[in-house]
Structure 1
Amino acid sequence: MSRSVRLVPACTSLLVTLSLSLSFSLALTACSGGGGGGVQGTPGGSGVRDPYFPKAGNGGYDVSHYSLRLDYEPDDEQLSGTAVVTARATQDLSAFDLDLTGMDVEEATVEGEAARWNRVGQELTVRPGDELDDGETFEVRVRYSGTPQTLTDPDGSEEGWLPTETGAVGLGEPNGSMAWFPGNHHPSDKATYDIAVTVPEGLQAVSNGELTGETTTGGRTTFSWHTAEPMASYLATVAVGDYKVSRSTAGDVPVYTAVAPGQVKASAKVLARLPEVLDWAETNFGPYPFSSAGAIVGGEDDAGYALETQNRPFFPGAPDTGLLVHELAHQWFGDSVTPKTWRDMWLNEGFATYAEWLWEEDEGGDTAQETFDALYDHGEETYEDLWAFPPAKPTSAAHLSDEGPVYQRAAMVVHKIRQTVGDDAFYDIVQGWTAAHRHGNADTDDFTAYVEEQAPDEDFDAIWEDWLYGDGKPGSP
């Protein structure tokens, strides 16, 4: 828990920071004479008290846009950047925090004026010269440089900035984006993005959204990317490397793929099905929520997992069709409809996993019912932890991505809804859900309430109590 208090009488201010075991920070004032005074703006909170990552994100403001200018040199793994964050104060602010780990901060300004700043752990605390009023839109600019860190998640996987054979890739779930740019790094605060990346000539720099510019000067090339739809920071990516780039379309949607040289042949067949998968997904989940699509296929050793980075998911090596279906389904479930907290992770993974079941069913393989029955009967043989905890209540951050409960059992919850309401009503519910929360945030309570509203004659209590929140294996399928 972190708490800050600042007292600002009408006199000269002297900042004093006390670092205690409870992370209290007090800014006191010293007066050179009399004068009235009182409590004015207060610092925004350091963290939004997410149930699994309490220090993630920050209080007191809401970000609307990030403009990032990055310069990366793969040979010495040095990154320099300027981040311009446009935000609106949600309270009177004397100071606010940005999440940034590692890197050396060189300068911070607010509304073009130099601002004081200090750092403790992942918190970069910025104190503007003039306090910010509740509702005021402001711009903070941070210049920084250094060797961006590779972070280790509670589950042991690596994220943040991952050096690769010919460059690097930035992957952010759940908190890795704070390794390469300062921001409000919690999924509840989505924003639009402009990301410009300068790299040695001959390399590619791929990011989210649409490529709006490519210029080469003095042996270095700058790639400029624009993301017009709101995006959670954990879905932001930058991939630098010797990629083969292809451009095509899926209906009216531009498709941009970048593939590492060693994966071009292996991934060609599955990537050729990307328009087909998107068309199938639109039929099931509703209109595609973004203005471009695609994929980034890196080397097999670039990361230990695939990730649904917005617009173009990242794959470590050529994916199979099922994995492509899973990550593209995330464009609806997770990327467009984003969880309010990390406790709601099952909404992302349950629907993306169920998309794999539906694809298999439509391709003439096992039906979703057969997949469900097999999991219920002997799923522990494949997923030892299948019944370890309920999908909506992971036991800790270390188990937030456990495949058994959070992916497979969560997909079983989705199937139970389908069983209860029938196919027509089920697809109406799914498409209505993605439309109602398009480009927004939603949590488990929002979802269960929505399902009940759309099917008021059905009783979902047993599904919520036994399958979504219940401990152990439910008594009957």
Structure 2
Amino acid sequence: MRRWIAIWQGVGLLGLVACSTPPQDFYRPPPGVNVQHYAVSLTLEPETRRLEAQVMLEVRHQRNVAELPLCFTAALTIDSARVGDRPVQPVRRGERLVMPLSGSTRSQLTLWYHGIPEVGLYAGQHAGQTVVFTDSWPYRGCGWLPAVHHPSDPATLDLTLTVPVGYKAIGSGRLVRRDTLSGHVRYQWWLDASAPTYSFAFAVGDFVQTDTTLGDTLKVSYVLLSSDRDRVYRLWRTPEALRWFSQWLGPYPYRSYAVVQVPIDYAGMENASAPFLRADLFELGDIEGVQVHELVHQWFGNHVTIANWRDLWLSEGTATYLTTLFYEATVGVEVARQQWVEMARLTPEAFRLHGALVPSRVVDPEAHLTWVPYRKGACVLHLLRLKLGDAAFRQAWQTIYQRFAGKPLSTEGFRAVLEELSHQDLGAVFAYWVYSDRLPTLHVRWEAETRRLRWWITGDAGTLADVPFLLAIRQEGQVQYAYAQEQQALLAEASRPEVHPVGILMHITEE
């Protein structure tokens, strides 16, 4: 889910054309409506991307709710539709397909449709191999699947995909069936823990699959294109990361996990139980870091969803910061400190794009997909960790995961859990670091004659007074650390040092 190709610690930012301009609420479901399950059956012609499809939605709703708007582009043709056993005629309202609901509190909606998607289903090439794949974030899924494409309404999935013999497929969920038919192969996957519709995915190509098992039951698969099959060793720490996050956060929510190599234009996409990694990432960047970032999303972003696009930092900031915690625990604190320094490094371009972590208005998710929800979100989590302490910080994440599994999480709900467990009032911290666009200034003064470095901080509104964060001081290729509260350090050399906050965003001014 990324806007342009700018990889940092497993974070890619994105570039495919979205659906036409969405309505102001970005497909938020009506109050009192919850789509609980999608059963999707697709027949795909990979060479043309033509689909023959059926989707069944199981919906719970209040008795007085009469209709459900689904996001579905007009490029595909609706053949027929039913509510229960009753034929109905959906109504088109722009990108919306409005289906009536039954007069009770449960409705089963079924649609049959066909055509070639304009968005959401793509064909790309890598090393002479063609892959057909979905990319549904944030609402490009409207191009191939009529659904409630909003993160606040996660659901389970039964996905069946039929392709010609000779093609191999991978999809969201645990593979429960594979049948060879007359000239075709039919795959069926079950995703029996909920996820947002933008994380429903499949890919078809010349894949080579390597399987292993974590523990007794969790199947872990590496699904690579045949040209890169020998590079599977680059992902060897995947089971270790799965095990670590399962211990640190809570049980992994799904019943299988697959890493899928796909020619997408960005580093990774956290599709439920089957994240996609950019096909040429083996040459371009930190494929392991990207993989760990997308793995974190299985807990936060997928199974714990965000309540609104304004809360995007709870998905992307969490994945960014918890990735560094994995490296802190498994490689060492020095590696993590280097990551935290880079996380808080601000360029002139970053300053230009800086804004509130949670905007005050409804946002377009693609316009909001800057470095802010990723790196600023991660820096705010680092600040909260230092303020609460490691034990309370970890307890908070485990509590949030227990309470919000399968449900949407808002920034307000996140703050409430932190305050409940820490017995601290975090209002000032959230007002400054989350809801405003302010940043403090780190003033640095270097006295070469005495080799003394002095510093002080202004403009933080008192929010950093009790936060024991570090400064990284680099001089002559060597790095030493000092707590910001110390306000000075005596250095070994006379050359001017570089000073960088460790995980805390701020302007830096040399006096």
- Please give the residue correspondences for 1:55-66 in structure 2 after superposition, counting only pairs within 5 Å: 55-58=27-30, 61-66=33-38
> Aligned partners of 1:198 and 1:99: how far apart in 2?
24
- How much does 1:177 deviate? 1.5
Residues 72 and 115 of structure 1: CA distance in aligned 2, closer, same or farther (over 3 Å): same
Q: Which amino acid aligns with 2:85?
A: G
Quick check: 1:133 aligned with 2:95? no
Identity rate, percent:
28
For the Cα contact (< 8 Å) 2:81–2:109, is it kept in 1? yes
Residue 462 (1) aligns with residue 428 (2): yes
Matches within 5 A, 1:106-125: 106-125=79-98
C-alpha contact 2:27 2:148 (8 A) present in aligned 1:
no
Residue 380 of structure 1: how far off its partner (Å): 1.6
Amino acid at match of 1:228: D
Question: 1:38-437 residue pairs with structure 2 within 5 A?
Answer: 53-58=25-30, 61-101=33-73, 102-127=75-100, 132-135=102-105, 137-150=106-119, 160-165=120-125, 166-251=130-215, 252-266=217-231, 268-299=232-263, 302-317=264-279, 318=282, 320-362=287-329, 363-364=331-332, 366=334, 368=336, 371-373=339-341, 375-376=343-344, 379-381=345-347, 384-385=350-351, 388-393=354-359, 396-397=363-364, 398-403=366-371, 405-437=372-404
RMSD of aligned alpha carbons: 2.3
**Alpha-carbon distance in structure 2 between the residues aligned to 1:328 and 1:382:** 31
Q: List per-residue Cα deviations over 1:391-422 (Å, max 9, x = no partner).
A: 1228842432112x111110111111111121
Q: Is the 8 A contact 2:289 2:323 kept in 1?
A: yes
Q: Distance in 1 between matches of 2:65 and 2:102?
A: 5
- Number of paired residues? 408
In 2, Cα distance between equivalents of 1:375 and 1:184:
34
SS at match of 2:350: coil
For the 8 Å contact 1:100–1:181, the answer to whether it is kept is yes
Compared with structure 1, are the counterparts of its residues 452 and 380 closer, same or farther at alpha carbon in structure 2 (3 Å cutoff)?
Answer: same
Asked whether the 8 Å contact 1:204–1:241 carries over to 2, the reply is yes
Q: Which moved more, 1:206-215 or 1:312-321?
A: 312-321
Quick one: which amino acid aligns to residue 62 of structure 1? N
Which range is displaced more, 407-416 or 240-249?
Answer: 240-249
Question: Normalized against structure 2, the TM-score is what?
Answer: 0.75
Q: Return the alpha-carbon distance in structure 2 between the equivalents of residues 470 and 56 of structure 1.
A: 25
Aligned residue type for 2:383: K
Normalising by structure 1, what TM-score?
Answer: 0.80
Cα distance between partner residues in 2 of 1:183 and 1:374: 39
Q: Secondary structure at the match of 2:298?
A: coil
In the alignment, the residues of structure 1 paired with residue 133 and residue 224 of structure 2 have an alpha-carbon distance, to the nearest angstrom, of 13
- Contact 1:360/1:366 (<8 A) preserved: no
Distance 1:394 1:212, change over 3 A: farther
d(CA) in 1 for partners of 2:323 and 2:226? 28
1:410 maps to amino acid = G
1:126 deviates by 2.7
Question: What is the distance in 2 between the residues matched to 1:80 and 1:385?
Answer: 48
Q: Secondary structure at the match of 1:465?
A: helix
CA 1:428–1:60: 2 relative to 1, 3 Å: closer
Q: Structure 2 regions of 5+ residues with no counterpart?
A: 1-21, 441-458, 461-503, 505-511
